[in-house]
Structure 1
Amino acid sequence: MSRNRRAAGAVRGPSSALTSFLAGLGVEPSERLTTWGDTSSINRSEQHDDQTQLAHDGPVLNDAQELDPAGAVTARTVVAGPSVVGEGTPDLEIGGMKRKRAVDGDGASEKGVTNNKRARATSIDSDDLDADNGPIAGPSKSVTPVIESPKLSSGVAGPLKAVGEFMDCGQCGKKFTVTAYTKEHPSNPSTFLCVNCCYALGIDPFAKPKKGAVKKKPVARKDVRSKVVHYEERKGVSPLGDICIHLIGQYIENVGKLGDIGGINMDKVCKIISKGRRLTPETAPLFYSADRESLAMYDCTRLTPEAFITLGKLCPNLTSLHLHLCGQLSTDAVSSWGKCLKHLKRLELFAPFLVRKEGWINFFKAVGKHLEGFLVTQSPRIDLETIQVMVKSCPNLTELRLAEIGQLNSDCIAALKPLKKLKILDLSFPGTPLPDDTVSDLLSGVGGNIQNLVLADNPDLTDAVLLSIAKHCPQLRSLSLRNAVELTDEGVASFFVLLKKRQQPGLVQIDLEKGHDLKEKALRALIDHSGSTVERLSLLGWRELPADAISELTKCTKLRELNMGWCRNVTDHTVKDILEGCEAVQLLKVWGCNQLSDAVPRKKGVNVVGIETHSI
């Protein structure tokens, strides 16, 4: 049902959803709409003659249509634009007559009516588009039209007002509503244009405002970008060790004035420098001396091949040399050692990756029979030919370590059989796991004097190798069979029973780590044979070992270090028994013993490591 909302005295209801939506998007009529009454008294000819004089704020009529008393809005009279609340109904001049809204009949003053006026542009209901021109029932308010000529005012320069406020157009002087798209006059700065003038000047009135150009950051030069900046922040006072290292490195030339500070103190200084990885070709000469017979460097990562050659030339009387993390040791350096170190008897190296077999062969031939100890870990270039030259040139070897050698296999092991004087033998973690028969054959030739045997990380070894060890190694004092997962509880028990039967002395160090099948029987036999002599014992991974069997370790009176990691039956009472029975114990490892509580017993001077509740 259509309703004529624009009739005089009509009560204006709420706006429709479409009207409110368009008003929120900034859509308003091109001419301002007014609430006028009946216009029958106005001559059509006057309306036609003065149509061109109407401001854009009023409705536009054609030749065959009078001013719509309902103020209807059609597609002809409405264009897109911002919509805001106005200040009231303006006075329009049409044909010399001024049309104003009449005073309410109930006595309301004209001034009050004027102050309460609102522009109808924002309250146009879509129902009004089809409203008829018939009268509305009920009391009506008369509207007296007053027509006068329009007046144009020139735009006043000034800053742009806030969105929704009115300003004078800088081109035509008419008032318009400021929006977010309002454009500035191209030739008159600080003045702004209405929508119609923007079109007249060829300016898109709804174009988005241009953003300011973003300044690009200056591109850093290539040499500056290539520098890596390390951010390191230290808080508090520097440790005394760092201060000493810095002073020694700064005055390395004057350290010789301290005189003879002793080999023990010099070794301590070397450990401090190595811990901070400050051992460099510049600081290493501090430890070089022509009268030194023993030299140990614990972190040689930063030493160059030339520094290792210098070491041999400045320390010609060395008899023992130990270098750790010597990854830059070269073939030429090892060859030069054979010529310079004429008195060298023991050489221990960790991680000499770069030394080729030519360097080892030249070294063995140059040193010859003087060499008694050759202990190398992680050297992938040692092969069968190198071992054969070593055995032939150095028959007096008593210490041999070939640990983590990738090319070590059964043929290389067989080549070691002529070394009858060996006391220490380490064949752990070879490239190819050693079988029982290869190890048994080697021990039959070299086992007579062996005291320390390390066969760790050979998972193919079984109980058969234990019988060979008991048979061919009568002087054995230290045994490591770590990760020999094929060993059984009965086989280990038979091994210690056989040692006792042969009246062989008890072992000092025993490492049977990760013997998952070892249980109570093996432990009791071990304690029965070596309980009075063992000092270091590793039972890590004996998961099914009962607590009462572990408590029998109290018979090991000389035990100093014990590893019971992952022995699931260890309890607080077990730890208490060991602490009370083993008076010499200093270190106790209990990683993975989940039955221990936070109230595990403690003892002065004993370090208990691995309690789970302490790590939470």
Structure 2
Amino acid sequence: MNRNSNRNEPSSNRVRGPTSALSSFLREQGIQVPNRSRRARREEQATPREMSIDPPTPSDEASSMEGVEQTVTVAAQSSSSSLTATTTAAATEEMTFTASSSKKKRKDDSDDDDDVDFAPSSSRKAAKGRARILFCVICKSRFARDINDDNEETLCSDCKAGKSPNKPVNSKKKRLNVSKKEQLLAHDRVPSLQDICISIVVEYIDEVETFGFISDESFEKLAKIISRNRKLNNQTSRLFMEPYRKSLSLYDCTNMDETALMNVAHFCPRMERLELIYCGQINDKVLRLYQERLHNLKSLFLSGAFLVTKEAWISFFETTNNRLEAFGLRHSNRFDLTCIESLSKLCPNLQSLNLGQLGSLTSEYLPHVAKLTKLTKLELAWPSNEEEDTEQTANLIHMLEEIGPQLTELSLRGFYGLTDDVLLKGIMKYCKNLKKLNVEQSEQLTAEAAVQFFENWEAEGLTYLDISRCILLNDEVLKVAIRRFGNTLTHLNIHSLELLSPNGLEVLAGVNENEKDYCHQLTYLNCSFVRAMDDFVLQKLITKCKTLQDIHVWGCHLITNAVNAQINPILRIIGRETSTISLLNTH
């Protein structure tokens, strides 16, 4: 973690501390404050005396504090209780920043410890931004201005255009309920009748006896909202179980006990696809009932089934055998190597496999996965060995050689030790039919290898790309990827790619007005914690990418409310300060 020094000039990571508002005000008034960081002062004042173990004398402490005290004259009234103010004139006020020697010593000691633990990495310094945040003198709102713009006028675009600023909110007015307020403010649009009905059902879910006949879309939305509100229990879960149901997804089974979980087999005998999240109370007895009663079950995904033993898993695979087409399991330490070996032998028709957060998920799993030659979708996430492993690299390449040609979706999330060889000798060479690729948090992938991969990969029509937290990737990687797949990409995740610059991000919308290689069909973009994202880039994305529906900008401190998003009525900007999100429309 790179700590900011609260300087007036832009810092390398452009992160401002709690005094950024004061610094902005002083800068607007033309006042320069020579406020140097503690680290810089310590480096300049380093003497042999500091290396001595003898305690400093009071005179030494007093002299060392002379460089800390700074006096700033400001033509304003001070309202801060943490500053010592001394009035010298009726129109001016002198604020003196002082600190006791004991407090300084304690703070310096703690800062020294933090600096050692979180030393900045010279190999991946965040790219410099081109915007700075100012505060409008009329409406007090934040807005961005080009860092090279010497204009001293501090007016936002609305105030400059003569629009009246928003009226201040009456603090005495009774606040709305948070959830209702979010729904009212979300995108300034009227909710559909379907959304209104769903919100009423969710509010009175404990009094509902049956849903009746509703569409699959509404059924899925109800399940998500009720699970999100933690209202799914033994009673409410029964509402989702009907004899004609062939597909069921329950997203928070924390409050469902063994009896409620067994009801799935009792009341849904035609079940073909079952997904249970946070099902911590499922055990061998429940799983055995599923394999005996659900004769049409083809797809099973469980998360949190840590009570199920390996004997129960092997028995389940023996019963489902050839009819099991999709299997997924997360957060279960009892699913070991013998289980994956049984799965590969007993379920040869498996087409989709999703394994993650398993305590024993190592490179030894990969040869058994390679035997599932009918797989078209594969996701392996967060293996137990996080470091680079030569055996893992060899096994991954061998696995992709066996099953890569027929794969359409590949996700290798959290493979910290994923090397360039896997990308170039495995995915690029064998996986030529992929439509979805996810290599999230592959921290060893280099920009040079990624550029070579996207330039020479023979795949066509890639729609989903996740390269988030691949911290070594830069502008060149993004440019090549968009040049190759910009016309087909609908989902792009570049979370935490700190090496990206504003010019690199603008490639998403086309560098020039007549640029053809940009994201024509992009509907989802996650650029959270990409420090270079600013109002100028975001405005260009909104203007050029007409199909955008969701943009995540968490941690992008250069994004303000000055961006005009009204030109795209279906767009949601998520993570921007003061933004609100409708609970009904959260995916």
- Structure-2-length-normalised TM-score: 0.60
Paired residues of 1:559 and 1:585 also in contact (CA < 8 A): yes
* Letter aligned with residue 235 of structure 2: E
Deviation at 1:613, TM superposition (A): 8.3
Q: Against the structure 1 CA distance between its residues 597 and 293, is the aligned structure 2 distance closer, same or farther, given a 3 Å change threshold?
A: closer
**Residue 360 of structure 2: aligned partner:** 407
Deviations 1:379-437 (A, max 9, x none): 11100111111111111111100111111111112111110111111111011246322
1: CA distance, partners of 2:262 / 2:528: 44
Deviations 1:337-376 (A, max 9, x none): 1111111011111211211111111111111110000011
Q: Which secondary structure does the structure 2 equivalent of 1:422 belong to?
A: coil
Q: Against the structure 1 CA distance between its residues 330 and 567, is the aligned structure 2 distance closer, same or farther, given a 3 Å change threshold?
A: same
Bigger Cα displacement from structure 2, 564-573 vs 574-583: 564-573
**Residue 481 of structure 2: aligned partner:** 526
Q: Against the structure 1 CA distance between its residues 593 and 282, is the aligned structure 2 distance closer, same or farther, given a 3 Å change threshold?
A: closer
| 1:317-332 equivalences in 2 (<5 Å) | 317-332=270-285
Deviation at 1:326, TM superposition (A): 0.8
RMSD: 2.6
Unaligned runs of 5+ in 1: 1-233
Q: 2:235 aligns with which of 263, 268, 282?
A: 282
* Letter aligned with residue 360 of structure 2: Q
Paired residues of 1:592 and 1:612 also in contact (CA < 8 A): no
Q: 2:394 aligns with which of 437, 440, 445?
A: 437
Q: Which secondary structure does the structure 2 equivalent of 1:427 belong to?
A: strand
Establish whether residue 361 from structure 1 lines up as the match of residue 314 from structure 2. Answer: yes
| 1:566-585 equivalences in 2 (<5 Å) | 566-585=529-548
Deviations 1:424-462 (A, max 9, x none): 111110112463222111111111211111111111012
1: CA distance, partners of 2:501 / 2:385: 35
Q: Against the structure 1 CA distance between its residues 392 and 602, is the aligned structure 2 distance closer, same or farther, given a 3 Å change threshold?
A: same
Paired residues of 1:324 and 1:349 also in contact (CA < 8 A): yes
Q: Which secondary structure does the structure 1 equivalent of 2:275 belong to?
A: strand
Deviation at 1:489, TM superposition (A): 1.1
Deviation at 1:525, TM superposition (A): 0.9
2: CA distance, partners of 1:582 / 1:527: 13
Q: 1:551 aligns with which of 506, 516, 541?
A: 506
**Residue 444 of structure 2: aligned partner:** 486
**Residue 610 of structure 1: aligned partner:** 575
Q: Highest Rg: 1 or 2?
A: 1
**Residue 462 of structure 1: aligned partner:** 419
Q: Which secondary structure does the structure 1 equivalent of 2:381 belong to?
A: coil
Paired residues of 2:417 and 2:442 also in contact (CA < 8 A): yes
**Residue 305 of structure 1: aligned partner:** 258
**Residue 497 of structure 1: aligned partner:** 455
| 1:322-401 equivalences in 2 (<5 Å) | 322-401=275-354
Q: 1:514 aligns with which of 457, 469, 474?
A: 469
2: CA distance, partners of 1:314 / 1:346: 18
Deviation at 1:245, TM superposition (A): 5.3
* Letter aligned with residue 297 of structure 1: L
Q: Which secondary structure does the structure 2 equivalent of 1:448 belong to?
A: helix
* Letter aligned with residue 540 of structure 1: H
Paired residues of 1:364 and 1:393 also in contact (CA < 8 A): yes
Unaligned runs of 5+ in 2: 1-174, 181-196, 510-517, 581-587
2: CA distance, partners of 1:573 / 1:272: 35
Q: Which secondary structure does the structure 1 equivalent of 2:506 belong to?
A: helix
Paired residues of 1:294 and 1:319 also in contact (CA < 8 A): yes
* Letter aligned with residue 562 of structure 2: A
Q: Against the structure 1 CA distance between its residues 323 and 464, is the aligned structure 2 distance closer, same or farther, given a 3 Å change threshold?
A: same
Paired residues of 1:572 and 1:601 also in contact (CA < 8 A): no
**Residue 186 of structure 2: aligned partner:** none
Deviation at 1:586, TM superposition (A): 1.7
1: CA distance, partners of 2:559 / 2:233: 47
Q: Which secondary structure does the structure 1 equivalent of 2:235 belong to?
A: coil
Bigger Cα displacement from structure 2, 334-343 vs 606-615: 606-615
1: CA distance, partners of 2:562 / 2:176: 36
**Residue 72 of structure 1: aligned partner:** none
Paired residues of 2:362 and 2:383 also in contact (CA < 8 A): yes
Q: 1:451 aligns with which of 397, 408, 411?
A: 408
Paired residues of 2:393 and 2:422 also in contact (CA < 8 A): yes
Q: Which secondary structure does the structure 2 equivalent of 1:323 belong to?
A: strand
2: CA distance, partners of 1:425 / 1:538: 19
Percent identical pairs in the alignment equals: 31
2: CA distance, partners of 1:440 / 1:537: 25
Paired residues of 1:597 and 1:613 also in contact (CA < 8 A): no
Q: Against the structure 1 CA distance between its residues 311 and 527, is the aligned structure 2 distance closer, same or farther, given a 3 Å change threshold?
A: same
Paired residues of 1:506 and 1:529 also in contact (CA < 8 A): no
* Higher relative contact order, chain-length normalized (CA < 8 Å, sep 6+): 2
Q: Which secondary structure does the structure 1 equivalent of 2:341 belong to?
A: helix
**Residue 562 of structure 1: aligned partner:** 525
Deviation at 1:493, TM superposition (A): 0.5
Q: 1:599 aligns with which of 556, 562, 567?
A: 562
Deviations 1:553-607 (A, max 9, x none): 1111111112223333333222222111111112222333344445334343322
Deviations 1:167-219 (A, max 9, x none): xxxxxxxxxxxxxxxxxxxxxxxxxxxxxxxxxxxxxxxxxxxxxxxxxxxxx
2: CA distance, partners of 1:249 / 1:600: 42
| 1:58-457 equivalences in 2 (<5 Å) | 244=201, 249-250=206-207, 252=209, 255=210, 260-433=213-386, 435-457=392-414
**Residue 434 of structure 2: aligned partner:** 476
Deviation at 1:294, TM superposition (A): 1.3
1: CA distance, partners of 2:279 / 2:505: 42
Paired residues of 2:410 and 2:436 also in contact (CA < 8 A): yes
If each structure's helix is expressed as a fraction of its own residues, which one has the higher value?
A: 2
Deviations 1:229-274 (A, max 9, x none): xxxxx9979988686457654463xx3xx75445444444444443
* Letter aligned with residue 239 of structure 2: L
Deviations 1:516-553 (A, max 9, x none): 22112211110111111111111222222232222121
Paired residues of 1:427 and 1:456 also in contact (CA < 8 A): yes
- Structure-1-length-normalised TM-score: 0.57
Q: Which secondary structure does the structure 2 equivalent of 1:491 belong to?
A: helix
Q: Against the structure 1 CA distance between its residues 271 and 588, is the aligned structure 2 distance closer, same or farther, given a 3 Å change threshold?
A: closer
